[in-house]
Structure 1
Amino acid sequence: MVIHYGKFISLVAKQRLGSASRTFYSTLPTSSIDGEKLLSLVYEKQSKPQSEIINFAPVTASEAQHHSLMIQAPNQPEHAKVLKVSVLGMPNAGKSTFINSIFGRKLMATSDKIDTTVTNRYAISTMGDTQILIQDTPGIVAGGKAKRLGLPVRRVSQPAQSFANADIGIVVADLTSRRVKTGYLQPEILMTMLKNMDIPTILVLNKSDKYKKKLQLPILIHQLTAGQVAGVPYEPDKISIAPMRLPKVTETIPANFDEVDLKDVQDLDRRLRKNEASLMNKLRHYRGWPHFQDVFVVSAMEQTGLDILRRYMLHHAKPGPWKFHDQATTDASPKEIILDSIRAGLLQHLPEEVPYQVHPVIRERSDREDGMLQIEIDVICRKKSHYSCVFRKSNVIAKETQEHLQDVFFLEVFVDVNPVYIRNFRP
């Protein structure tokens, strides 16, 4: 088996990254090599930590200081550069973990449950004359499903709004997802990109540490990109392996999106309101997206495959005004960070529907004389069974929340979590 390394990691990044790319690729062979040897070289190269974009600046725990940072005019240099990146993906694709890994610290709250991220959040890194803004977004949920789940309209629209305002879009696809493993992007992803075809987009295949069939990645990339990356046909080498088991619908899949009737996507907002289900069903029959500019294979959890992606973003920053002061690390307020963190703990440790039906509130926060930040959290429960669940897990939730907030604020933090039963509570 042979794999062309440039196609496996980033099909066209080598031509675009200049000296940084030449440094990365200089010790890799320039022709086809044995696939297993290539994979070991790639993972060895990408596992070495780099300092680009990694941001170790503390996040202020003071609401007043945060507000001051948000309203201050950016203290940018004369030749400032900026890049706004929107991270898009299905619920639980690992978007927040991916952003944390890019920045080298746990800025965003994470859990193993869907809907941990409920609003758009910027992670900000300023280095010299360049400011990189990476916006985390809630997992994409189609309008019909959102209505069934009772999700607010604002929550559903936020990923598309972020994507439309970005300089570069990153689609994070979960390699352990059943649909992605069989060579399909979710129709919700395709629909968002159809609405924003003018936004350059790259594909990041995440959770490579859990994907066991690594030698099949070239074929999978071919399917997810409809055989084309950055306008260049991408044909994996002929590899003698067993064919992947695909659903019967593959027999009717068009070769690529050139066969899509563009009349079906014109005036898309109007069509979505009137006939979203029909369009979604049609998109289920299409494998991938032929307009990705690059493809990267990473493991956010293991922090592999991220170095070249960091350099890629730095390279694509363009002259333009900064959005934030260089001391800003996130646009989330301390209160929002605390509530996001406690919500992640509730999602991680409470069963089934319970974390979605309880409501954390900050009862009190104070700065102690010894410099420790003390936070008292009430978790309001409308059912006694939910109260019992929170009570049993309150210590572990408090401990994990405390550890996360210490990483964010660079302060000693004490967190106390208390369930409160209020039957008729209205959030």
Structure 2
Amino acid sequence: MSEPEARRSGFVALVGRPNVGKSTLLNRLLGQKISITSPKPQTTRHRILGIKTEGAVQTVYVDTPGVHQGGKRAINRYMNRAALSTLAEVDVIVMLVDGLRWTDEDAQLLKRVMEAGRPVILAVNKVDRIADKTRLLPHLQALAAKAGFLDIVPLSAYSGDNLDVLEKIIASQLPEGDWLFDADQLTDRSERFLAAEIVREKLMRSLGDEVPYALAVELEEFREEEGRRSISAVIWVERSGQKAIVIGKGGEQLKEVGRQARHDMEKLFDAHVFLRLWVKVREGWSDDERSLASLGYQND
């Protein structure tokens, strides 16, 4: 009779500049939506753990905000701290890049990643969007020359292509040891946090380019009752003009955001959801450390 396989567990940081697909990758790896996504950069603002337990291996993925340059507000500094402070705390780093693109932000992040002294896997995402596949191999060779990567994995977080290869490489690097979380736990975040993030995702997806970056969502009530959740949330914006945009003509924009958010919450919580939304103005919240802390933007 063969010996049971030794358990392995560890933390894996998913890092990259904004909009390279870190949250999409996390959700695909877990088989469930934990981290919100949108086509807009800087959708992810917090570190979020996604926990996958399969066989003898428990992998704790750390989804991080996109590391970016040029943002001068307090919230930009917060997001960069949340991402970069993760690097020294994990067992493996997966750095994501976008297809055939390589930018100055990628180069700056690579420098910080390699300084962390952890095994680094370079994940070249969105390869399904590359029309001329003959360009991929020379690009991978050029990337390999940039640093001493443990491995380079071309993949598609959207379709799931080659994720099994990535997971095998990660598992080989995790230390032996007991699991860090219960086998059925998917994330370290509460239902309350996930509800607020779902509302923010619907706003990010439905509004123009400017307003989403000037808003935050704060839950005032989250009650569990028999077979339902009663949720009240405030959407904070920085100017009265933004408030009008979020509410929309006759309140239609806010109603549609509420409808979409409620649908996703009911799917996630497997319960009926009664959702109430308000929009309020708090001038300059995104560049005020106290306001950020009160809204849950605290490096942990």
TM range (shorter): 0.7 to 0.9
Give the counterpart of 1:111 among 13, 20, 38: 38
1:225 paired with 2:126, answer no
* Equivalent position of 2:247 in the other structure: 391
Give runs of aligned pairs for residues 249-398 of structure 1, distance below 5 A: 289-369=146-226, 371-392=227-248, 393-398=253-258
Specify the code of the residue in structure 1 equivalent to 2:188: D
Write the distance in 2 (CA, Å) between the matches of 1:83 and 1:167: 6
Identity across matched positions, percent:
24
* Equivalent position of 1:22 in the other structure: none
Aligned-partner SS, 1:292? coil
Contact 2:192 2:222 in 1 (8 A): no
Instruction: Classify 1:423/1:163 alpha carbon distance in 2 versus 1 (closer, same or farther; 3 Å).
Output: closer
Instruction: Classify 1:150/1:318 alpha carbon distance in 2 versus 1 (closer, same or farther; 3 Å).
Output: closer
4+ residue runs of structure 1 moved beyond 4 angstroms?
A: 421-426
* Equivalent position of 2:15 in the other structure: 88
Give the counterpart of 2:84 among 137, 160, 174: 160
Instruction: Classify 1:312/1:408 alpha carbon distance in 2 versus 1 (closer, same or farther; 3 Å).
Output: farther
Relative contact order, CA 8 A, sep 6+: which one is greater? 1
Write the distance in 1 (CA, Å) between the matches of 2:14 and 2:237: 33
1:416 paired with 2:276, answer yes
Give the C-alpha shift of residue 128 in structure 1. Answer: 4.2
Instruction: Classify 1:305/1:402 alpha carbon distance in 2 versus 1 (closer, same or farther; 3 Å).
Output: farther
* Equivalent position of 1:235 in the other structure: none
* Equivalent position of 1:25 in the other structure: none
Write the distance in 1 (CA, Å) between the matches of 2:265 and 2:169: 30
Q: Which is strand-richer, 1 or 2?
A: 2
Contact 1:362 1:375 in 2 (8 A): yes
Give the counterpart of 1:194 among 102, 110, 114: 114
Segments of structure 2 that go 5 or more residues without pairing to the other structure are 292-300
* Equivalent position of 1:203 in the other structure: 122
Instruction: Classify 1:194/1:131 alpha carbon distance in 2 versus 1 (closer, same or farther; 3 Å).
Output: closer
Segments of structure 1 that go 5 or more residues without pairing to the other structure are 1-76, 227-288
Contact 2:91 2:173 in 1 (8 A): no
- 214-223 or 406-415: bigger deviation: 406-415
Contact 2:26 2:61 in 1 (8 A): yes
**Which structure has the greater CA radius of gyration?**
1
Give the C-alpha shift of residue 111 in structure 1. Answer: 1.3
Instruction: Classify 1:132/1:101 alpha carbon distance in 2 versus 1 (closer, same or farther; 3 Å).
Output: same
Write the distance in 2 (CA, Å) between the matches of 1:319 and 1:424: 47
Aligned-partner SS, 1:318? coil
Contact 2:100 2:139 in 1 (8 A): no
1:100 paired with 2:27, answer yes
Write the distance in 1 (CA, Å) between the matches of 2:164 and 2:260: 28
Specify the code of the residue in structure 2 equivalent to 1:168: V
Give the counterpart of 2:98 among 174, 189, 192: 174
Aligned-partner SS, 1:373? strand
Specify the code of the residue in structure 2 equivalent to 1:151: I
Specify the code of the residue in structure 2 equivalent to 1:343: R
Write the distance in 2 (CA, Å) between the matches of 1:390 and 1:314: 44
Instruction: Classify 1:421/1:84 alpha carbon distance in 2 versus 1 (closer, same or farther; 3 Å).
Output: closer
Contact 2:17 2:105 in 1 (8 A): no
Give the C-alpha shift of residue 194 in structure 1. Answer: 3.4
How many residue pairs align between the two structures? 280
Write the distance in 2 (CA, Å) between the matches of 1:176 and 1:400: 34
Aligned-partner SS, 1:194? helix
Specify the code of the residue in structure 2 equivalent to 1:294: D
Write the distance in 2 (CA, Å) between the matches of 1:408 and 1:365: 15
- 296-305 or 401-410: bigger deviation: 401-410
Specify the code of the residue in structure 2 equivalent to 1:387: K
1:126 paired with 2:50, answer no
Give the C-alpha shift of residue 95 in structure 1. Answer: 0.3
TM-score w.r.t. the length of structure 1 is: 0.60
